[in-house]
Amino acid sequence: MRSLIIGLLSVLVLLACIPLVLIATGTIDGSSVRMILNVMTGLDGPAATESEVQSRFELPEGFHLQLYASDLPKARFMRFTPAGDMLLSRPHKGDILLLRRDADGDGRPDAVETLIDGLKRPLGMDFIGDNLYIAESNRIGRVAFDSASGKLTGAYEPVVEGFTDEGNHWSKTLRVGPDGLLYLAQGSTCNVCVEEDERRNTMMRFAPDGSGGDIIATGLRNSVGFDWAPWNGELYATDNGRDLLGDDFPPCELNLIEEGHFYGWPYYNGDNIPDPDMGADPMAAEREPTPPAHGFRAHNAPLGITFVDSSGWPAGYERTALVALHGSWNRSTPDGYKVVSLHWTENGIEERDFLSGFNQDGDIAGRPVDVAQGPDGAIYISDDYAGAIYRVSYGDNNQDWSPEVASAEASRLDTQTPQWLDGADLPAMARRGALLYDVHDCRRCHETGENPRLLSGLSERLGYNAVIDLLKAPPSPMPIYPLSENEQRELAVFLLNPAAGNTPEAVQTEDRDTP
Ligand code: HEC
């Protein structure tokens, strides 16, 4: 009964807001109204077309955009399978789609299939081994998934149940951390209030079997996206600032998530400015709010974030994350509606436009939700307004990610020794190769599992060039890894000279110069 009343009240409040918003925007053209109706009622925006994408969007010099997939209403979060197919969650449809990788090279997924449906508003997804974990609005579930065939191979089973999903911000984001544990972010029920369920507006951590469930960070209003910086393992989460304090306050946030920290909501906004509606934090004596690591413009609504592997990109993207700004819905002029790049520099975090053009003077063509990097190195961006996925690649060498080259070419030794071997520090390269082999878990197909394809004696079959070619265009179902040229060489050195880096001692003892 109580939730019914709250539900009715929120509808009334929302309805009351519509005229306000229309007046406030001052731009009551068809496009703005449609965008507002999208927020209020879920009405879809106009579908994206390749020609519009090409004519209206802008990227930094040297990057290229294509419309990768369309006709995907309510597309929200993405995750690549180990075989390079894309999973796409659609909380409003209760399903997860599988977009088969573009092996035929026509610039579109080879097929779009429903992987699983009938779920309660699924958003976050990630893998531990062959298990796909899914965050519904009220629970975390898991199901066995065979990446080679792109099919589920078991029954879906709950792992953690009993999350609340009343009110606003009911979606849950789930990622597996570098420590192999499950991280779950859930938003607040309201714009600004004290929550009854203390797990709302936090980040939590669980073991893969669902045990644990510690709250590791509090005071996060709605952290929909988070990711770990690859250079130091720090965890960063986006957070959406509250509404109804004007057009330009408070900033949306990027927070460096540290265990036990309190990030301010609902008592503080931005750089710990007390909230005018809430009064003093009753727990002020026990906790200091942690200010954001970076502020986005107010109402920009940062959602998905991903740190990129910028191998092959121009200088300036070494320590970079891409963030999707979904765009404002209650600001007098629409703002956000783009993908920005964040750069960790000596002067702190700098924000630059990456993909823009969704909003042209209030004419809204799309709303970016999530950013993911494919195994081909390209950047994929989901849009729940146009129902589209865009693909951004660097340079005109649209990487060949068809797997067929490998098998024909691979079974031969080099006729020529590659140049880069001259004077190369083979033991050091082999050690780095061994680490890459570890990091990418090559073992799960080549040493363990049902039918491991052993790589022993590889040097009798393949030369350096053949191994590198194979890593560039692997035989199915071996994934395409986003490896730089150097990393491909390091892996090749390791695989072809097992003695030079193969032993665990050699991997761990960095200062040993002879293996
Ligand atoms: C999902 C499973 C899978 C993963 C993960 C995987 N591979 Fe493979 N790999 C394969 C398959 C399948 C083949 C083809 C084997 C065959 O044709 O007999 C293969 C072939 C190879 C070959 C050629 C073997 C030969 O004897 O000709 C090399 C080298 C190789 N992989 C290296 C790697 C490296 C390095 C990694 C990690 C970065 C990796 N693989 C990850 C499945 C995988």
Q: Tell whether the model's pLDDT for residue 184 goes beyond 60.
A: yes
Q: Best of 446, 460, 469 to mutate for ligand 1, by most ligand atoms within 8 A of CB?
A: 446
Q: Which residue has the tokens 């958003």?
A: 123
CA–CA separation, 268 and 219 (whole Å) = 9
CA of 494 to the centre of ligand 1 (A): 14
Q: Tell whether the model's pLDDT for residue 254 goes beyond 90.
A: yes
Query: pLDDT of 16-58, one tens digit each?
Result: 445 444 444 444 456 677 777 777 777 788 888 888 888 999 9
More confident residue, 110 or 499: 110
Contact in structure between 143 and 116 (CB atoms under 8 Å): yes
Give the position, in ligand 1's atom list, of the atom nearest the Cα of 407.
Answer: 17
Q: Tell whether the model's pLDDT for residue 142 goes beyond 90.
A: yes
Contact in structure between 347 and 304 (CB atoms under 8 Å): no
CA of 450 to the centre of ligand 1 (A): 14
CA of 454 to the centre of ligand 1 (A): 9
Q: Is the dihedral of CA 416, 420, 425, 430 positive or negative?
A: negative
Q: Which residue has the tokens 């570890």?
A: 438
Contact in structure between 393 and 67 (CB atoms under 8 Å): no
Q: How confident is the model at residue 414 (pLDDT cuts 50, 70, 90)?
A: low
Most confident option among 15-24, 28-37, 402-411, 458-467? 458-467
CA of 411 to the centre of ligand 1 (A): 13
Contact in structure between 466 and 489 (CB atoms under 8 Å): no
Q: What is the mean pLDDT of residues 61-83?
A: 95
Q: Atom 16 in ligand 1: which residue has the minimum CA distance?
A: 453
pLDDT at 3: 57
Rounded to the nearest integer, the mean pLDDT of the chain is: 86
Cis ω for the linkage preceding 266 (within 30 of 0): yes
Q: Atom 24 in ligand 1: which residue has the minimum CA distance?
A: 455
Burial class (CB in 10 A: 0-12, 13-18, 19+), 417: exposed
Q: What is the mean pLDDT of residues 82-104?
A: 95
| Percent of the chain topping pLDDT 90 | 63
CA–CA separation, 96 and 117 (whole Å) = 6
**Residues lining ligand 1, Cβ inside 6 A:** 82, 410, 437, 440, 442, 444-446, 453, 455, 458, 461-462, 467, 470, 475, 477-479, 481, 491, 495
Q: Tell whether the model's pLDDT for residue 330 goes beyond 90.
A: no
pLDDT at 449: 79
CA–CA separation, 235 and 400 (whole Å) = 32
pLDDT at 9: 55
Q: What is the mean pLDDT of residues 108-124?
A: 97
CA of 309 to the centre of ligand 1 (A): 22
The tokens for 248 are 């330009």
CA of 131 to the centre of ligand 1 (A): 21
pLDDT at 514: 33
Q: Is the dihedral of CA 270, 273, 275, 279 positive or negative?
A: positive
pLDDT at 419: 85
Q: What is the mean pLDDT of residues 151-161?
A: 97
Cis ω for the linkage preceding 477 (within 30 of 0): yes
Q: How far out from the chain centre does Cα 104 lie?
A: 25
CA–CA separation, 456 and 160 (whole Å) = 41
Give the position, in ligand 1's atom list, of the atom nearest the Cα of 410.
Answer: 27
Most confident option among 17-26, 205-214, 434-443? 205-214
CA–CA separation, 225 and 231 (whole Å) = 19
CA of 453 to the centre of ligand 1 (A): 7
Q: Tell whether the model's pLDDT for residue 408 goes beyond 80.
A: no
